[in-house]
Chain A
Amino acid sequence: MSILIDENTTFIVQGITGREAVSLTRECLDYGSKIVGGVTPGRKGRVVHGVPVFDTVEQVVEHDGGNVPDGSVVTVPPGFTKDAVFEAIEAGVKLIVIVTERVPRRDVAQMVELANLRGARIIGPNCLGLVVPGVAKMGGIGGPARNTGQAYQPGSIGVMSRSGGMTTEISSTLTAAGMGVSTAISIGGDAIIGSAYAELMPLFEADEQTKAIVIYTEPGGRMEAQLAEWVAENDSRLPIVAFMAGRFMDDEAMKGMSFGHAGTIVEGKEDTAAEKIARLQEAGIPVVERIDEIPAAVKEKLAERSAA
């Protein structure tokens, strides 16, 4: 099992004729994903790695005998992202991965609100998508199929990360430790994202394959506090281990600066690395200092659970 996608998941790529979209299409197809069409307005009739290109999402549905694709990977420029996502949601697509960076917050909030109204889910923006090792991936996560295979082996750990690159680094560490990954999700680096940790936890909770969760976190925002609250309110069977990057941002000299991702801007006193670490630890989530400490920390938490 897995969460969000499986071997039968079909999806489209919006903005498929863009340079990055062309390579992510190749990578996903090579990995075994089912891409049923692409959309770029004005480019109907083209073909990208065997995937037919259309002007509208509606045309893809028509071409596929009325079947609405399960998902869409959106790679259009920031000024057009909201329109593309609205188009997918209104066509009935239920899982939308937004790769695009620098989408204004108001647009993200509008997309998320429409998705909520229509029962759709958004991952991202500013993310690399998600992968179910050995089964399928949706987005550029892990890179070419061969490299994705090297870093991501099937296993029992669910990974959620605000950094796309670190999703792979952590998963590779879990793979090397023989633990493997159930589903890994690059949730996006912006201040407002479609699915934060706490919003994905119920899905992992329901996934039998997943035995523990590893998250990658950063300063900025309240999503770690939200996760801590979720853990306190739900009697989850899943132990969680966190890694916090950007501790140096707590230095006085770094105040008011953002590093790495747009979402790391510290807007309140709850947003600092130190504050988040304290909150997570209070909720029983150990925060490790090094990536290479993650496998041992997960094993320890699992052992605690089975002893209890």
Chain B
Amino acid sequence: MRFFEYEARQIVEEAGIPVTKYGFTRSAEEAAQIAKDIGGPTVIKSQVLTGGRMKAGGVKFADTPDEAAAHAAAILELEINGHMPKGVLVDPKAEVKQEYYASVVWDGTRKQPMMLFSDMGGIDIEEVAETHPDHVGRGHYSNLLPVSDFQAKQTIAATGVTGRALTRLTPILARLARLFQERDLTLAEINPLAELSDGSFVALDAHMEMEDEARPRQKELLAKLEIEDDDTRESHEPSPFEAAVSAIDAADHRGVIQGKDTGFEGNLGLVIGAGGGSLTLTDAVRSQGGSPANYSEIGGNPSVAKACGLAKLVLQKDGVEKIAVMMSIVSNTRVDIVARGVIKACLELDKDPGETIAIFRIPGAWEEEGFKILDKYGIEYCDRSVSMHEAARRAVGNVQDEGVAEPKAERG
């Protein structure tokens, strides 16, 4: 999950890393008051979970509290990349002497966290790494031993930074490294980390992401930031289909179902599983010329009601003509139960299962029982001797035949 900048700053501040005297608000009047308290020029920054704020006009400078209020009012109404801001951050306009970059990320190959530091802050670090590799310092550190300041010092010194800057920056990077671990972050970035004209070193912007899996043990922090359990910070709002699938999944502990339809607009509904099988089958349908209406995952051993619920939601999606029920070879999922579930879904929607299910391909334990039920309803099915891609091809063919026989009326 990603934190808003004002939350990230609070996290940084609590870790002992200096920040400017900023304020967060959801109202223009309050923005004026914060600007007044700060005294002097301010920066008004949109609080959205997306990049490119500056370009989109989400960051504006103000000389007076009135101007701050006007900018805040405009920014609060400004949608950026499909996101409405949660509020604005009012920050003193800092007089910057030098900008630095500091972050910690996971190195999945080394399986250790890695500190990144640059004396060329304020710009995209990947660009700096490409154009000025000698200005980027990297330092891995142990997952088991406490982080020592010298590790941060080495990382900074590798870029040629020395003198007072080195001694002032070292504890900041070391604290960021500790923070990364203590808070289960997957990204902890301060950019820019600035030396101001008064000689102080402060974080002027912070970007933090925390691992979803760690939310249960970071409850205290999340409560302090007033982040509710249902605030999942997904990159997009769940669609009605996605929300409905989640609700069905949550209502019954047996098996797991997931469904997504953001970005899918096809006519072939997919009732598929499990993790890797769903990825493979979605690709397979597309490579065979089909157009999936959704993505889904059946995992574990779901009840008839759960399989039925998923299939019904897929069938009720706009534009869905048929569903393909397919999985890679399963070992725990009861094939007959899934068969019962999808047939029930068709019947409850007054659809003929034999016509509606374009293909059924779930090989595994209990397949004989499943095949008996499928035979009864005249549903086309296959076993493991038919590959996942061949099954997808048949499903796509069955949908397209249908399209030829009954052409859909063109919208006038």
- In the complex, A238 has a CB within 8 A of chain B: no
Chain A nearest CB, measured from B387 CB (Å): 4
Name the residue on B nearest A113 (C-beta): B143
- B288: shortest Cβ distance to chain A, in Å? 10
Which residues of the other chain, A, contact B384 by a CB distance below 8 angstroms? 151, 172, 176
Instruction: Say if the beta carbon of B330 comes within 8 Å of chain A.
Output: yes
Chain B positions within 8 Å of A113 at CB level: 111-112, 142-144
> B279 to A259, Cβ gap below 8 A?
yes
Smallest CB separation, A110 vs chain B (Å) = 4
Determine the main DSSP class of B at the interface with A: mixed
Contact A165 B106 (CB under 8 A): no
Chain A residues within an 8 Å CB radius of B365: 143-144, 147
Given the contacts A143-B332, A169-B388, A292-B390, A261 and B276 also touching, CB distance less than 8 Å: yes
**Nearest-CB residue, chain A, relative to B332:** A143
CB proximity of A79 to chain B, nearest CB, Å: 7
In Å, the complex CA distance between A141 and B330 comes to: 10
Docked CA distance A290–B72 (Å): 54
A85-111: CB near B (< 8 Å → 1, else 0) gives 000000000000000001111101110
* In the complex with contacts A144-B365, A261-B276, A223-B184 CB distance below 8 A: no
Interface residues of A in 159-216 (CB under 8 A from B): 161-166, 168-169, 172-173, 176, 189, 191-192, 196, 216
- Contact residues in A for B295 (Cβ distance below 8 Å): 259
How far, in Å, is A112 (CB) from chain B's closest CB?
A: 5
Q: Which of A212-260 contact B (CB under 8 A)?
A: 216, 218, 221-223, 226, 243, 245-249, 251, 253-257, 259-260
Contact assessment for B329 and A259 in the assembled complex, using a CB-CB cutoff below 8 Å: no
Taking a contact as CB atoms under 8 Å apart, the answer to whether B330 and A173 are in contact is no
- Alpha-carbon gap, A256 to B287, bound state (A): 22
B331 adjacent to A166 (CB under 8 Å): no
Which of A112, A140, A249, A292 is close to B389, meaning CB atoms less than 8 Å apart? Answer: A292
Which of B142, B262, B287, B329 is close to A172, meaning CB atoms less than 8 Å apart? B329
**A142 at the binding interface (Cβ < 8 Å):** yes
Do A254 and B263 touch (CB < 8 A)? yes
| Contact yes or no, A291 B387, CB < 8 A | yes
Specify which chain B residues have a CB less than 8 angstroms from the CB of A176 in the assembled complex.
384-385
Give the interface size bracket for B toward A.
Answer: 35 or more
Q: Quick one: which of A140, A141, A166, A226 contacts B109, CB cutoff 8 A?
A: A226
Are B111 and A164 in touch, CB under 8 angstroms? no
Q: Are B280 and A291 in contact (CB under 8 A)?
A: yes
Return the chain B residue nearest A23 by Cβ: B332
Interface presence of B221 (CB below 8 A): no
**Across the interface, which residues of A come within 8 angstroms of B77, CB to CB?**
none
In the complex, chain A residues whose CB is within 8 Å of the CB of B255: none
B174-198 interface code vs A (CB 8 A; 1 in, 0 out) = 0000000100101000000000000
CB distance from B184 to the nearest CB of A (A): 5
Pair B330/A165 contact, Cβ less than 8 Å: yes
Q: A257 — which chain B residues lie within 8 A by C-beta?
A: 235-236, 260, 262-263
Task: Name the residue of chain A whose CB is nearest to the CB of B278.
Answer: A260
Among A105, A226, A243, A255, max chain B CB count under 10 A is at A105
B184, B186, B235, B387: the one contacting A292 at CB < 8 Å is B387
Q: Which of A78, A162, A191 contacts B276 (CB 8 A)?
A: A162
| Interface-lining segment among B34-42, B95-103, B212-220, B313-321 | B212-220
A105-B186, A143-B364, A248-B286 given; A260·B389 CB < 8 A: no
Counting CB contacts under 8 A, is A114 at the interface?
yes
The verdict on A245 contacting B111 (CB below 8 Å), with A79-B217, A102-B213 known, is no
- Contact assessment for B279 and A218 in the assembled complex, using a CB-CB cutoff below 8 Å: yes
Q: Taking beta carbons and an 8 Å cutoff, which residues of B are in contact with A?
A: 106, 108-109, 111-113, 142-144, 181, 184, 186, 211, 213-214, 216-217, 235-236, 260, 262-263, 273-280, 282-284, 286-287, 295, 297, 327-332, 363-365, 384-385, 387-390
Q: Which 10 A-B pairs have the closest CB atoms?
A: A163-B276, A143-B331, A253-B263, A292-B387, A245-B279, A166-B276, A256-B235, A169-B328, A246-B279, A260-B275
Given contact pairs A165-B331, A257-B262, A290-B287, enumerate 11 new A-B contacts (beta carbons under 8 Å).
A104-B217, A105-B211, A109-B112, A161-B276, A166-B328, A168-B329, A169-B388, A243-B280, A246-B279, A246-B283, A260-B278
